[in-house]
Structure 1
Amino acid sequence: MVASWQSTVETSRNALEAKLKATGFAGQVGHIGEDVLNVTSVPFDRVLTAREIEITELGVGQLLAKLSGGELTSEELTRAFLHRAVIAHELTNCLTDIFFDKAIARAQSVDAEYAKTGKPVGALHGLPISLKNQINIEGEEMNLCYVGWTGRISNVDSALVKCLLQQGAVLYSYTNMPQALFSGETICNLHGRTVNPHNRALAVGGSSGGEGALVAMHGSPLGVGSDIGGSVRIPCAFNGLYGLRPSYDRIPYGSSSNSMEGFSIVPSVLGPMSTSLDGVKAFFRAVVDAEPWRYDPLALHMPWSESAYALKEHGDGKELCFGLVRHNGMVKPDVPYVRALEMLKAALLAQGHKVIDYVPPQTAKGADILTRLFQADGGEDLKRECATSGEPRLGGIFKGQAVPPAISTYEFWQLCAERRDYIAMQLASWEATRDQTGTGRPVDALLCPPAPYPSFRHDDKQDIFYTGICNLCDWPAAVFPVTKVDPAVDKPVERTDFLSDFDRLNHERYDATVYKDIPVSMQLIGRKGEDEAVIRMMEIAVAALKSAA
């Protein structure tokens, strides 16, 4: 008898539960009622030692300094994060697999090498790093959150894993993501739903939502997600994290698993997610310095550029001009974002920078192109993957919509040409801001919300083009927290004019009391290939906010 997909799910979940139980950490928190929505504030001092709490709440830069200076061993640090990872999972359902024994052995090996040589193994020496459930590690199951993929064992390390290991990292877990990776909420048939630790009645974001929850709960100092329409930035935003959607092929994707294999016109990219600002630079530079082009034929031979990071093409960063995107022409952001935009603008102006209003042109056309590209196969890829087990299709960002028929090769070529012409138009529009900046340059970067909402209720309708435009145009984009939803000040405003049906829907469902305590973040968007500059400008924006606080 062929097992039902439900029985496969049960077996898989039981296997993970057994692994978690074997750690000795499972069940320590005890029962936390469903009425407790914000679990980031649950006291952990009765299950974690003071030392565990102290070191797991340090930033990435602080941890790397202590590890490389011999003040902290990788084994101690790794064991502390393993403990918090189990707690995070029990409260948010963020993990899909763990390999703690392998991680501890790796940490001990890194420590032994340090003891022998007195030198760190690499730029990420001894740092525990968690991975989205698509980045292959040799010898570990890679199910891509498909029921039909259970039991598939990776026979090779992905290019990124090779870079991370070369730089001394310790890998210990996989995290949850939505079916086919196509959703701003994290839910799949195999592993269930991951919830937002700031409010478990709300979406954690997606598709890298498992990472978002784990990192937000300090179960990981640095996680790796992927982004094809906002999948790093949305969960970072919903969880108050720092993150980066890099340009195509700066971070190697080779030998990682993915849905829609062969879809390369708008490729998915891998990027960091961290509770600390310096974690973004630490990850990006470490991976690029590992020469990923030696492991992945598509990775750009593009070493770290110190001059780009120093903003040499942007006036040395002394008087930057930012384009402030108050809305994208399709849907206006909720009230907390309006407040956050003004906070960010005031902070930058106070530091001597300039801010002008900017709206990317014809965003509805771009959203249409991106949607038609994503659906060009008529849903064939998802249909085939689900057919391997019989699991139902969930819909994701296209939930409730009829799937259009597949288009012909010729029609796909014409669609690719549309995309080319569209991004050329966006480039011309950006260049035209040179006449408005007063710096002699076009705007150095754009500032805009990462979504029209700070989060949303489970299974609500989604919109991803605040982030998706960056994927379409290959604009590197950072995301960083600005404030939190405050019902006392983020009161709804009356509106009678709407840009779209979704704009009306999003306005009508806004409720600050529902979104209370959810982080409110911003994107900083740069030009293609300007990853180092985007990282530096994010640092400048965050410093400005701190000075204004």
Structure 2
Amino acid sequence: MTFQDAKDIYNNRLQKSIEEVDKYFPGSHKPLPDTIPSNVRPLLKLLHDEDYEVVTLGGIELLDKLAKGEWSAVRVTGAYIRAAVLAHKLVNCATEFLAERAYNRAKFLDEHLAQKGPVGPFHGLPFSVKELLGVKGHISTCENSFFLDSEPMEKDLVLIQQLESQGGTIFVRTNGPQLCNSLDSYSPVHGSTLNPYNTSLTTGGSSSGEGALAAFGASIIGLGTDIGGSIRAPSSFCGIYGLKPTRGRLSMLNCVGSNPGNDFIKAVVGPMSRDLRLIDLFMENIIKQKPWKDDVSLEAVPWEIVSSIQPKKLTLGYTTFDGVAHPHPPIVHAIEELVKKNDGKTVDGVEITFKKYTPVIPEDIIHMLIGMFMPDAGERIKKWSEKFGEPLDDPGPEVKALAKKLEISDVFALNTKRDKYRQTVWEDWKKQGIDAVIYPVYISPSSVIRTPNYGLYTMLWNVVDYPGVTLPLTKMDAKKDYGPTPEPANDMDKKFLGMYEPEKFDNAPIGVQIIGPRFEEPLLLKVAQLLQGTVQPLGE
């Protein structure tokens, strides 16, 4: 079998699933225009009025209508799956639509509501899910041809089982970059996922399709994963909220990853949504189920109700330069404006103060990261790619020069170094007296498709296993003067600063991440509520 044969398997699966949408949820959308604009979000209005009414409603308000029976689960699921088909035609974000499963589930939910009442707090709420998360009866590929002829999953991801026990339903599976191993969105199997705000830009990765669907308005909440920024980058690039939890919070049992058995840094699964309230509701009700009783890898840490967190004062650190690579001027401007707006203010009875925070970053952090992410120097993924002749993206000369296959003594040493570093960061955190940190997600508002990416702003927090919430702030305006670029700190910084061309990033969302200590997700959601992120209205 050739690589083209493998791509045909992928495309046939996708096309067949689109045809099933027409079978179970007929209705489609109005015709596409002859010329597609670079900002495709206004094309959400191509949905028919009944569907547009559904997908533009807030998450909590939607749940209220579903629980009262004002809108049926079939109607709501149909609206979102038709919107997702439209989104896919515009930005290439889906791997497979789950029309039959979603229809049967929605019918069941409507019947249950009529006879017994709502199934749970998520009754009738459609969820999109990243493709590597296991769905019973379907293959998971991790956006790699190696798995395209694999056996279907025998069980759903445990987290999917848990959200469905609370009334949710899954309706579409979304794509990501090759091996879900990049902050870009390109895979040789399916091409690039495009940013709905500006289709010359990436959505970020690796939860690329999740970011695109939510930004367009075709998903009210979805599940992504994060091992180096894969929830936070797409959330920031696409102007939505996203939560990267602490390892051990939510179950990833029954999924396919690109690095199984690698314990240096473990991927986590988390929610992504344009409605922050849904992320709060999701986490509270999943943790209420004590998921550690279904997955032994989880920690038995209860959830602190976010509304019950009432500190008199919060001290927030903020960073505009990590000491390695400068963010571009629009990122710095957005952070400084956030600080200026809130420093010294009292919001909902909480006094907020800011102070500069400079992270502790080892001089050999890049070497450490390459060792953690590629302990076999890429040997396994190279073998995977050879199965069907899939071309692998070149990691670049810097990575090649540092990558080496680790001996067992190297593994011991790197684990020890990582653990010492985690303790050093925590001791410094306590010394600085901060509750959370406002931190860049990336060096620019988004990234031009298939350009080099700098991941340390997100990867750092995977190394120390701190959770993060992405907070959307504003949009890039190419006509606005954000100030000059700073003097480069080093050659790598010079390269990335040289990529700042304002017109290329026009209309791209700008976000930050709110970082806190392990298992402090409720506090981070509280901070996000106090700082009030700005999600752009749909259809604009």
Range of TM-score over shorter length: over 0.9
Q: Secondary structure of 2:223's partner?
A: strand
Residue in 2 that maps onto 1:74? 73
- Which residue identity is paired with 1:338? V
1:236 to 2:235 alignment: yes
- The alpha carbon displacement at 1:456 in A equals 1.5
Q: Deviations over 1:35-84 (max 9, x none)?
A: x2111123x44x42222112101222221222223222211100000110
Contact kept? 1:330, 1:363, Cα under 8 Å: no
**Aligned residue number for residue 524 of structure 1:** 514
**SS of equivalent residue, structure 1 residue 320:** strand
Change (3 A) 1:74 1:545: closer
Once the two structures are superposed, the pairs formed by residues 374-453 of structure 1 within 5 Å of their partners are 374-395=373-394, 401-402=400-401, 404-433=403-432, 442-453=433-444
| Matching of residues 97-176 of structure 1 within 5 Å | 97-118=96-117, 120-152=118-150, 153-176=152-175
User: What corresponds to 2:476 in structure 1?
Assistant: 485
Residue of 441, 445, 460 corresponding to 2:451: 460
2:322 matches 1:322 = no
Range moving further from structure 2, 19-28 or 414-423: 19-28
Deviations 1:108-137 (A, max 9, x none): 10111111112x211211100010011111
Map 1:232-311 → 2, pairs under 5 A: 232-306=231-305, 310-311=308-309
User: What residue in structure 1 maps to residue 215 of structure 2?
Assistant: 216
Q: Is the 8 A contact 2:472 2:534 kept in 1?
A: no
What residue identity is the alignment partner of 1:41?
A: P
Change (3 A) 1:493 1:363: farther
The worse-fitting range, judged by mean Cα deviation, of 125-134 and 56-65 is 56-65
- Counterpart CA distance in 2 for 1:421 and 1:400 is 24
Equivalents in 1 of 2:515, 2:366: separation in Å?
17
- Contact 1:475–1:528, Cα closer than 8 Å, also in 2: yes
In structure 2, the CA distance between the partners of 1:399 and 1:17, relative to structure 1 (3 Å rule), is: farther
Contact 1:183/1:397, CA 8 A, preserved across alignment: no
Structure 2 CA distance for partners of 1:414 and 1:70, relative to 1, 3 Å: same
Q: Is the 8 A contact 1:94 1:213 kept in 2?
A: yes
Q: TM-score, normalised by structure 2?
A: 0.93
Question: Is the 1:136–1:158 Cα contact (8 Å) retained in structure 2?
Answer: yes
Q: 1:145–1:188: 8 Å Cα contact kept in structure 2?
A: yes
Q: Is the 8 A contact 1:127 1:168 kept in 2?
A: yes
Q: Distance in 1 between matches of 2:397 and 2:431?
A: 35
| Cα separation, 1, equivalents of 2:397 and 2:424 | 27
CA drift at 1:535: 1.3
In 1, are the aligned partners of 2:130 and 2:209 still within 8 Å (CA)? yes
Q: Could you say if the C-alpha distance between residues 426 and 398 of structure 1 is closer, same or farther in structure 2, counting changes exceeding 3 Å?
A: farther
| CA-CA distance at 1:363 after TM superposition | 5.2
SS in 1 for 2:270: strand
Letter in 2 for 1:30: L
SS of residue matched to 2:392: coil
> What is the identity percentage for the equivalent residue pairs of Structure 1 and Structure 2?
28
Q: 2: distance between equivalents of 1:210 and 1:359?
A: 33
- Partners of 1:458 and 1:95 in 2: CA distance: 18
Aligned CA distance change for structure 1 residues 490 and 272 (closer, same or farther; 3 Å): farther
SS of equivalent residue, structure 2 residue 222: strand
When residues 450 and 327 of structure 1 are mapped into structure 2, their CA distance, relative to the original with a 3 A threshold, is: same
The residue type paired with residue 526 of structure 2 is: R
The match for 1:20 is: 18
Per-residue deviation at 1:250?
A: 0.2
- What does residue 41 of structure 2 align with? 40
Evaluate the alpha carbon distance shift between residue 28 and residue 19 of structure 1 in structure 2; reply closer, same or farther with a 3 A threshold: farther
Q: CA RMSD in A?
A: 2.1
Distance 1:422 1:397, change over 3 A: farther
Consecutive unaligned residues in structure 2, runs of 5 or more: none
Amino acid aligned to 2:504: V
Task: Describe the SS at the equivalent of 1:214.
Answer: helix
Kept in 1, the 8 Å contact 2:473–2:534? The answer is no
Q: Does the C-alpha gap of structure 1 residues 401 and 26 become closer, same or farther in structure 2, counting only changes over 3 Å? A: farther
CA distance in 1, matches of 2:399, 2:419: 30
Q: Give per-residue Cα distances to partners, 1:162-202, cap 9 Å, x unaligned.
A: 11111111111111111121100111122221111111111
- The alignment status of 1:333 with 2:323, answered yes or no, reads no
Alignment coverage as a number of residue pairs:
526
Q: Which moved more, 1:15-24 or 1:470-479?
A: 15-24
1:347 aligns with 2:341: yes
Query: Does the CA contact (< 8 Å) of 2:194 and 2:212 recur in 1?
Result: yes
Q: Tell me if 1:96 matches 2:92.
A: no
Tell me if the contact between 1:146 and 1:179 (Cα under 8 Å) persists in the aligned partners.
Answer: yes
Q: Which moved more, 1:130-139 or 1:17-26?
A: 17-26
Q: Is the 8 A contact 1:243 1:273 kept in 2?
A: yes
1: CA distance between counterparts of 2:289 and 2:495?
47
**Measured at CA, do residues 489 and 205 of structure 1 come closer, stay the same or move farther in structure 2, by a change above 3 Å?**
same
Tell me the distance in 1 between the aligned counterparts of 2:202 and 2:332.
21
Displacement of 1:491 after TM fit?
A: 4.1
Q: Which amino acid aligns with 1:504?
A: K
Aligned match of 1:438: none
Check the 8 A contact 1:37/1:199 in 2, yes or no: yes
Q: Aligned in 2, Cα 1:32/1:465: closer, same or farther, shift over 3 Å?
A: farther
C-alpha displacement of 1:492: 5.1
CA distance in 1, matches of 2:534, 2:178: 39
Q: Which amino acid is 1:185 matched to?
A: D
Tell me how far apart the structure 1 counterparts of residues 500 and 257 of structure 2 sit (CA, whole Å).
34
Secondary structure, counterpart of 1:249 in structure 2: coil
- Alignment deviations for residues 236-295 of structure 1 (CA, whole Å, 9 cap, x no partner): 000001011100110111111111101122110001110111121122122212221222
Conserved 8 A contact 1:344-1:545: no
Of residues 452, 463, 466, the one that matches 1:472 is 463
Farther off after superposition, 104-113 or 285-294:
285-294
**CA shift for structure 1 position 207:** 0.4
Distance in 2 separating the partners of 1:403 and 1:370: 10
Shift of 1:21: 3.6
| AA aligned opposite 1:467 | T
Structure 1 gap segments, 5+ residues each: 434-441
- State the match for 1:5 in structure 2: 3
Quickly say closer, same or farther: Cα 1:399–1:115, change in 2 above 3 A.
farther
| Cα offsets for 1:440-486 (capped at 9, x unmatched) | xx211000111111111111111111111110111110001111111
AA aligned opposite 1:450: V
Q: Which amino acid aligns with 1:37?
A: S
